Amino acid sequence: MQSNDTLRRNMPVFSMSVVTKLSELSARQIRYYETHELIKPQRSEGNKRLFSLNDLERLLEIKSLIEKGFNMRGIKQIIHNEQEHLSDDEQLTRKKMIVEATQKPQREAIPINRGDLSRFIKK
DNA sequence: GTTCTGACA
DNA sequence: TGTCAGTA
């Protein structure tokens, strides 16, 4: 049975204006992340996005990753990695591999599907 | 007035 | 990523 807490965290209650203020991300960026399926806000009858507390927290994490220099690919892998139910140890191992391959100092995209990394990342 | 999608002198 | 257009 789903807890009341989980229920509340998934309630679609925030408008785009509220989320842009709380996350300090532009509406453009938020929509962009949605097209990449990093978040999946529900829609109102008028097709307006309705974000949940979970969506907001997800956006805040994406924001921190962007600021650390991750590109869309790296962020996608990290988000998807967290959604999988793996042991903390295994999750940490994957995270380190992802960091080494995608967190570039000069914020440049790096191909990461060659060699060892492919063994840790599900395509 | 706010949000949405698509597009780029 | 910003921003403008044309809607809903």
Q: What is the pLDDT of residue A21?
A: 97
Measure CA of the first residue to CA of the last residue in chain A; give whole Å. 32
Give residue A26's pLDDT band: very low, low, confident or very high (50, 70, 90). very high
What whole-number distance in Å separates Cα of residue A121 and Cα of residue A100?
Answer: 13
Chain C positions with any atom < 7 A from a protein CB: 1-3, 8
Q: What is the pLDDT of residue A104?
A: 61
Give residue A28's pLDDT band: very low, low, confident or very high (50, 70, 90). very high
Instruction: State which H helix or E strand residue A99 sits in.
Output: helix A88-102
Chain B positions with any atom < 7 A from a protein CB: 2-5, 7
Q: Which of A98, A101, A103 is nearest to A80 (CA)?
A: A98
Task: Give buried/exposed letters for A21-53 (b at 16+ CB in 10 A, else e).
Answer: eebebeeebbeebbeeebbebeeeeeeebbbbe
Distance A25 CA to C2 C1' (A): 13
User: What φ, ψ does residue A49 adopt, rounded to 5°?
Assistant: -70, 140
